[in-house]
A and B are shown apart, each in its own frame.
Chain A
Amino acid sequence: MKEKQSYIGGLLHGIGTLLTGMKVTSREFFTPKVTEQYPENRATLEISPRFRGRLVMPTDENGNHKCVACGLCQMACPNDTIHLTTESITNEETGKKKKVLVEYKYDLGACMFCQLCVNACPHHAIEFSPEFENAVFDRSTLVLTLNKK
């Protein structure tokens, strides 16, 4: 607690604090405004990279994804959003069996964007993209196949 100020001291202190506040707002008055005018600024719109728009499976330049079809994302999902179809392929040289991904189905309509699947993935094969314009006319179009080329 500050000491109790005298009449004049309190008055001057009050004026000083008011001027501080006015300085802040006057600076704010002239700064560029933060409002995004969405449909007009689609070309220049910048969404934060950590925004969870929809799940994607990034591929490298040859079109190969990193998914090993382990199914951890499917198990992590609380909403049953992800369905993996896998098959076993036997390597002819070594004779070892390997599980590969056939189809990675992701239902955007059921997703609650919790990011548990991304956190569960041991190979960073899936991630959320900031693309957010997800509106469609039919629910069935929300079921996406992520490993499609």
Chain B
Amino acid sequence: MFDFSIVTHWIHNLLTSLMPDDLAVFIECLAIGICILLTYAIIAIIMIFMERKVCAAFQCRLGPMRVGPWGTIQVFADVFKMLIKEIIAIRHADKFLYNLAPYLVILASIMAFSCLPFNKGMAVLDFNVGIFFLMAASSIGIVGILLAGWSSNNKYSLIGAMRSGAQMISYELSVGLSLLTMIVFTDTMQFSEIVERQADGWFIFKGHIPAFIAFVIYLIAGNAEVNRGPFDLPEAESELTAGYHTEYSGMHFGLFYVAEFVNLFIIAGVAATIFLGGWMPLHIPGLEGFNTVMDYIPGFIWFFGKAFFVVWILMWFKWTFPRLRIDQILTLEWKYLVPIGLCNLLLMVIIVVFKLHF
């Protein structure tokens, strides 16, 4: 198993041998920041391309095919178009909040993104309350969306943002409950520890029934939290034109758009890390030969493979189910997902206490 911390330690030692410690740490922070932003942009581009292709396949179409081989340049063309468009200043809008909102959304998304462990020793933020931090950081995005709706001076934006607030705060609860179920099982919140403990089997297999229920609840609630799939009624283009980002244009709209896709990837990445073993290869206890073969596949391939598989499942949801009404969404959350999540938490506690897991 390739350990990326060898590379980071080598860079750190090289820098500290050349310059004082503070400067070295500063340069490392800058480098890591640039790396995160680059990865963020690349993943956004991959996700948008994947969305268009997967959506097309579910509708029996081919998707973009004209720009570049298999339409691969299409997304770059879209991004370029977005970059050169004008950012229109809305009359009577709250200028400061209006301009701040997309950056809050993207900030929350990047902070959550940097929690994901991509490989062994390749996690930017890795400390003992990792999951807690991720939940907290990703919730800041709601503030951005509410501000966007509030400051746009548009009824549609405001209604969209209010719905979004109700929906995202409600579903945060289910995400939290399903993650809590798994924390009961792992007794740690640190992402690297969580991945290490799945060396002898992924949690979805080790925790069997409650882990699977938590996985399903997490997928549904996570999908709702990023305002996608059948739960995209903050945007609800048929009734609210575009919800909270109606008045945004150019790259400000682009930031909302990119944040939505990367948030989807973050949800998928967290699901892959906590339930499907993250960068940990598929290990079956007792089959040593099989395990060593699996170890030859590098960890980041495992991670991205699993994450994009979960993304595919979420896109499958999105392009299958019709959009829910606001009361249906809240019914699903408060009457179904939360009680089931609580029972599931209890079931997990029983299983952990009586050691009924594998």
Q: By the criterion CB–CB under 8 Å, are A26 and B316 in contact?
A: yes
- Report if B58 contacts A (CB, 8 A): yes
- Of B1-9, B60-68, B91-99, B301-309, the segment with at least 4 beta carbons within 8 Å of chain A is B60-68
- Chain B, interface size: which category? 10 to 19
Q: By the criterion CB–CB under 8 Å, are A37 and B65 in contact?
A: yes
Q: By the criterion CB–CB under 8 Å, are B316 and A34 in contact?
A: no
Give the shortest distance, in Å, between A47 (CB) and chain B (any CB): 19
In Å, the complex CA distance between A115 and B54 comes to: 41
- Pick the contact of A22 from B57, B316, B336 — CB < 8 Å? B316
Encoded as 1 (CB less than 8 Å from any A CB) or 0, chain B from 91 to 120 comes to 000000000000000000000000000000
- Report if B59 contacts A (CB, 8 A): yes
Chain B residues with CB under 8 Å of A33's CB are 56-57, 60-62
Interface-central residue, B57, B59, B61, B320, by most chain A CB under 10 Å: B320
- Report if B321 contacts A (CB, 8 A): yes
In Å, the complex CA distance between A33 and B64 comes to: 13
In Å, the complex CA distance between A11 and B213 comes to: 14
Chain B residues with CB under 8 Å of A11's CB are 336
Chain B residues with CB under 8 Å of A26's CB are 316
In Å, the complex CA distance between A22 and B58 comes to: 10
Q: By the criterion CB–CB under 8 Å, are A25 and B319 in contact?
A: yes
Q: By the criterion CB–CB under 8 Å, are B336 and A35 in contact?
A: no
- Report if A21 contacts B (CB, 8 A): yes
- Report if A137 contacts B (CB, 8 A): no
Encoded as 1 (CB less than 8 Å from any B CB) or 0, chain A from 23 to 67 comes to 011101101011101000000000000000000000000000000
- Report if A18 contacts B (CB, 8 A): yes
Q: Which chain B residue has the least Cβ–Cβ distance from A11?
A: B336
Chain B residues with CB under 8 Å of A37's CB are 62, 65
- Please list the 9 inter-chain residue pairs (A to B) with the smallest Cβ-Cβ separation, ordered nearest first: A35-B62, A25-B320, A21-B320, A29-B57, A25-B58, A33-B62, A35-B61, A34-B60, A22-B320
Q: By the criterion CB–CB under 8 Å, are A28 and B59 in contact?
A: yes
Chain B residues with CB under 8 Å of A31's CB are 60
Give the B-binding residues of A (Cβ under 8 A): 11, 18, 21-22, 24-26, 28-29, 31, 33-35, 37
Encoded as 1 (CB less than 8 Å from any A CB) or 0, chain B from 24 to 63 comes to 0000000000000000000000000000001011111110
Chain B residues with CB under 8 Å of A34's CB are 60-61
Question: Could you pull out 17 A-B pairs where Cβ atoms are within 8 angstroms?
Answer: A18-B320, A18-B321, A21-B321, A25-B320, A28-B57, A29-B316, A31-B60, A33-B56, A33-B57, A33-B60, A33-B61, A33-B62, A34-B60, A34-B61, A35-B61, A35-B65, A37-B62
Supposing A21-B321, A22-B316, A22-B320 touch, asked if A28 and B58 sit within 8 A by C-beta, the answer is: yes
Chain B residues with CB under 8 Å of A35's CB are 61-62, 65
In Å, the complex CA distance between A29 and B315 comes to: 12
Give the shortest distance, in Å, between B144 (CB) and chain A (any CB): 31
Chain A residues with CB under 8 Å of B54's CB are 29
In Å, the complex CA distance between A31 and B336 comes to: 34
In Å, the complex CA distance between A25 and B321 comes to: 10
In Å, the complex CA distance between A28 and B54 comes to: 11
In Å, the complex CA distance between A31 and B65 comes to: 18
Give the shortest distance, in Å, between A56 (CB) and chain B (any CB): 33
In Å, the complex CA distance between A26 and B60 comes to: 10
Give the shortest distance, in Å, between B44 (CB) and chain A (any CB): 23
Interface-central residue, A21, A25, A31, A37, by most chain B CB under 10 Å: A25
Encoded as 1 (CB less than 8 Å from any A CB) or 0, chain B from 318 to 357 comes to 0111000000000000001000000000000000000000
In Å, the complex CA distance between A109 and B141 comes to: 58
Chain B residues with CB under 8 Å of A21's CB are 320-321
In Å, the complex CA distance between A21 and B58 comes to: 12
Chain A residues with CB under 8 Å of B56's CB are 33
In Å, the complex CA distance between A22 and B216 comes to: 14
